Amino acid sequence: MKKLALAATLTGLATLGAAGLAFAQDEGETKDRADRGEARAERMLERFDTNSDGVISTDEIEAMKAERFSQADANGDGSLTLAELEAWKEAEREARMQARKERMFARRDTNGDGVISIDEFETRGMSMFERVDADGDGEITKAELAEMQGHHGGHRGGWHHRGGGADRK
């Protein structure tokens, strides 16, 4: 019974998360996502297309695999120990995390001055606020929230129906 309740709870949380993500997308975020996809493709070409011919060949992939193995093989004996593999994976993870943080910072630093102002920091959530604020008065009313719920997540049994529905005070 506990497993069933846990599964139901996890399913509900996943559903809420998916609904929230769907609601959070707008045209600007979709464009940002497309731009990030394009940037990711460019980074892949930069990384793997070693002869700069605009394509990634199997020879380039094999050379990259050999190079990565060599990087992981700290003592150069042609084989990897668990310790070497773990150390190499950790270094790779750290490098990916650093690059990700730098990209995230650059996206937020819209004027490129090397710092993130309060306006740059808070711009991400404002598009959602503006969508929900249907009359544009700078305030979100109960009616506007109910309208939002009707369009995004008005499924029977959703979180807003629990205990009396959207008209509950």
Helix axes 142-151, 118-132, angle to 10 degrees: 80
Query: Which residues in the chain show pLDDT less than 50?
Result: 1, 4-14, 16-25, 153-169
Instruction: Encode 73-109: b = buried (16+ Cβ within 10 Å), e = exposed.
Output: beeeeeeeeeebeeebeeeeeeeeeeeeeeeeeeeee
Query: So what's the pLDDT on residue 135?
Result: 86
Query: So what's the pLDDT on residue 18?
Result: 45
Query: Distance between terminal CA atoms of the chain?
Result: 33
User: Please, where are the H alpha helices in 25-141?
Assistant: 27-48, 58-72, 82-108, 118-132
Query: So what's the pLDDT on residue 134?
Result: 83
Query: So what's the pLDDT on residue 152?
Result: 52
pTM value > 0.95: no
Query: So what's the pLDDT on residue 29?
Result: 62
Q: In this predicted model, what pLDDT tens digit does every residue of 60-98 receive, in sequence order?
A: 999 989 999 999 999 999 999 999 999 999 999 999 999
